[in-house]
Each structure stands twice: as C-alpha cells, then as structure tokens.
Structure 1
C-alpha cells in the first residue's frame, strides 16, 4: 500500500469536509439573519429582550406595518347546521380543490352554505381549516373545517354566523403589530421561541351566547404550533389559547 498517497487522500478528504461544514455554517447564519431581517422595525428595548431570550422569526416572516381603522364586530350564531356537527359528503372530492377557489366553489359551493365567505387558514393532520372573512379579514374562531383522507375531502364542519350592525361600535386605529409583539416578547414568549406568523383579524370568546361581540386582534403563532396568542388590537390585552383546546 502506498501510505504517502493514502495520507494525501485522507488530508484532502478532511479539507473537503471542513469546506462543506463551513459552507453549511454560513448558510445557517444567512438563514437566521434573513429570518430576523424584519426585526429592525421593533423598538430597541424589544430587540434587546429578543436577543436575551433568543427569540427569532421564521424565514420569510414580515411584521405587518398596517394600522387600519376597524370597529368591533357584532354577530349572531345561527344553528342552521348545528354548531360542532360533522357532515359527511355523499361523494368525496379531490382535496387539491382547496387551493383553487373556482374549483372549490364548483365542487362544494352547492353543498356548504356561504362557502365563498370563508378563506383558507391552515392545513392540519386530517383537515383544512378556513375562517369566516369580513372585509378581507378573518374571524379566527369562526371556522369551516374540511376533513380529508387519502387525498379526498370526506366531510365538513362549519360555524355559521349572521353579522349584526353595531350601532355603538366606532372605528378605532388598531395597535401596531410591533407593539403587540413587544408585549408578547417581553411578558409571554418562552426562551428560544420562533415566531412564524402575525395576522390581523377578529377574536372573541367561544359561542356561549347567541349574540357575540368581537374586537380586532393580532394573532401570533409560534413554530412549535402549540398555542395561539391573541393581542387585542385596541386594549393590548393578551390571551393564550391552546391549539388542542
């Protein structure tokens, strides 16, 4: 055996390994910097707490800059289909239609009431989740769930509501997302948390009564997907809700 040549080959292999590991480290650093590129819009004291608690943003997440004027929503829960009742489809349909509004409406619009008023929110293990939309913003807890199996939608469950004109409700400029995040980062998020979404919509208490009053709220989700954080976009009060609950 040519030990000199073997030694040269081993040295070259180790050099290549170091190059690959160094490149991977560089990619990780770049990804982390990209993920936190939008953090610069946060106040310095919030940034300091983020660094202290090792809190970051997931890749491609941007902090919304909008501060529109919104009013509280008043609505009634209707019982056309029964709240929480699951309805099986007579003929399952392809699940891919969820990502095409026209096909979704064509295949399920005659079956699911007011389907066009719901917007896609998330894809869970066995269901696609939609939210009731109002002026382009989601009512986070008014849901349409499409259950699927073997790439077929087999059943649905729907919350049906009727909006009511709120005579005493006036428009107010909402709390900026940066302030909502600042409160969460300082007082609620755990060390190492990774923020993957912040979205403006409406949130309120569960359907304990027929008439509901919901306020504009920022919803914040983490990568571990365990808890919803809702920050009232007027009062800044924070509520945490387990996603399993």
Structure 2
C-alpha cells in the first residue's frame, strides 16, 4: 500500500470538508443577517404606519447602531460634591464652549475637573435659560444622570455644579442585545403618547435610579424626548418604561442628601 499517496488523499479530503463547512457557516450567517434586516425594515414600516394613524411626528432620525452593552457600576468621586455650587476664578464665555468652534481642548483647559470627559446635552440644556448641562461620557455614550451644570450670569459662565464618577472595571457583567430604537418608540406610541405628539429626540445612553450610595448601577436606556418637555427612559434590555419626567424636574445624582436636608430644615422651622 502506498502510504504517502493515502496520506495525501486524506489531507485533501479534510481540506475539502473544511471548505464545505466554512461555506455552510458563511451561508447561514448571511441568511440570518438578511432576516434581521428584513425584520427591521418591516418593524420600521409598521412604526411609520402607526405614527401616521395617530398623527405623531418623529422629528429626529432613529439611531441605527445597536451595540451589545452591559450593566455598569459607577463609583462617585467623594472629593467632588454634586450639590455644591462652585465659583469659577475666571468666568468663561458661553461661545467658547458652546459655539461651533468649541473643542475638547478648551474644556480641558478650564478649571472644572475632568470637563473634557463631558458632552453638551442639548435637550436638558433648553429647560433653563441660564443653565447649560453636560453629560459625562462612558465611551461614546452619555451617562444621563452624571452631569456638569454651568450657571450663566450677565453673559458669562460664573459657577458650576458637578457630579463625577468612574466605571468600576472589576464588576463582571455579560453584554446583552438591546431593543432596537424603533421598538422602543413603538412601545411609547402604543401605550403613552397622545395624538399629535412630536418626538424630538431618541438617544441611547446609561441611566439609573438615584439613591444614597457612593456606587450606582446603571443600565442602557433609550431616552425619548417629547415636544411638551416630557422625557421617557425605556430600559434597553427589557423595555420597561419609567414615568415621564420634565427636564427641569430631574435631580442630578448625588444631590439627594442636600435636597432632603433642605426639606428637613424647612419642616423644622415651621
């Protein structure tokens, strides 16, 4: 028996089998991707139909990126007191950090610690004429509850409040699939929004329930903003919806103690 020839035939057979299995795997993945794209298209068509039937307008493009995300735990910096209003030694010009030419370099040169890690939140900043709110970022996603609030006076930014936290790296959490933006909007349209509403923004970020603790778990949420000022948070894993908030009613993380103390002081003085 020619063992050399038999060995060559055996190797070629294995190579051919690997090619066949590889093609089948590629074909299956391509088929799955086609089905997902088809389902997304169908969901979007159905959403547009329902929006039209209820005269609800979507003024913002729906996000199409759908990364896998995990629950994060944010540990707040004790040295930065969120409820404390701090004066700037050198007032800032709003145009320098809010204008079209604004950059992270300008933020990094300011007196505000870690300010280059924050991004202007155009939705919540509209609620106050003299307040500008910035969200801290984790990667490219905002932490909706961890903010810097800039206070304007006489055309200059003269003071600020800040919350700052770091995401703990030792906490093991598995990444999970998210509910697509169109399904999140569909849930609100079906169950919460009245006819004639206008959805002004749909944004993905992290949000948590504030309580008195140095660490806070935060879940991925779709933040959906309505033209009347209502802000809905829809948990991006299971679709749970929080009662709507007004942007001006939201209490930043870390300020609950100060609010409670002020309330208790007021009650004692009565």
Deviation sequence 1:144-163 (CA, Å, 0-9, x none): 11111232111110011122
Partner SS for 1:71: coil
Unmatched 5+ stretches in structure 1: 1-39
- Tell me, yes or no, if structure 1 residue 234 matches structure 2 residue 237: yes
1:164 to 154, 168, 173: 168
Deviation sequence 1:74-95 (CA, Å, 0-9, x none): 1112221212211111231211
Matching residue of 1:8: none
Q: CA deviation at 1:236?
A: 0.7
- Pairing of 1:172-187 with structure 2 (within 5 A): 172-187=176-191
In structure 2, C-alpha distance between the alignment counterparts of 1:161 and 1:208, rounded to whole Å: 14
Q: CA deviation at 1:42?
A: 4.6
Structure number with bigger Rg: 2
Higher helix share: 2
Pair 1:128–1:190, CA change in 2 (3 A): same
Pair 1:91–1:168, CA change in 2 (3 A): closer
Q: CA deviation at 1:185?
A: 0.7
The alignment of Structure 1 onto Structure 2 pairs a total of residues equal to 200
Higher strand share: 1
Whether the 8 Å CA contact 2:73–2:171 is kept in 1: the answer is no
Deviation sequence 1:195-226 (CA, Å, 0-9, x none): 111111101111422221111111111122x2
Deviation sequence 1:60-114 (CA, Å, 0-9, x none): x2111111011111111222121221111123121111131222332x1xx2111
Matching residue of 1:71: 70
Matching residue of 2:90: 91
Matching residue of 1:112: 112
Tell me the TM-score normalised to structure 1 length. 0.76
In structure 2, C-alpha distance between the alignment counterparts of 1:64 and 1:127, rounded to whole Å: 27
Q: CA RMSD in A?
A: 1.8
Whether the 8 Å CA contact 2:47–2:182 is kept in 1: the answer is no
- Pairing of 1:39-50 with structure 2 (within 5 A): 42-50=43-51
Whether the 8 Å CA contact 1:148–1:155 is kept in 2: the answer is yes
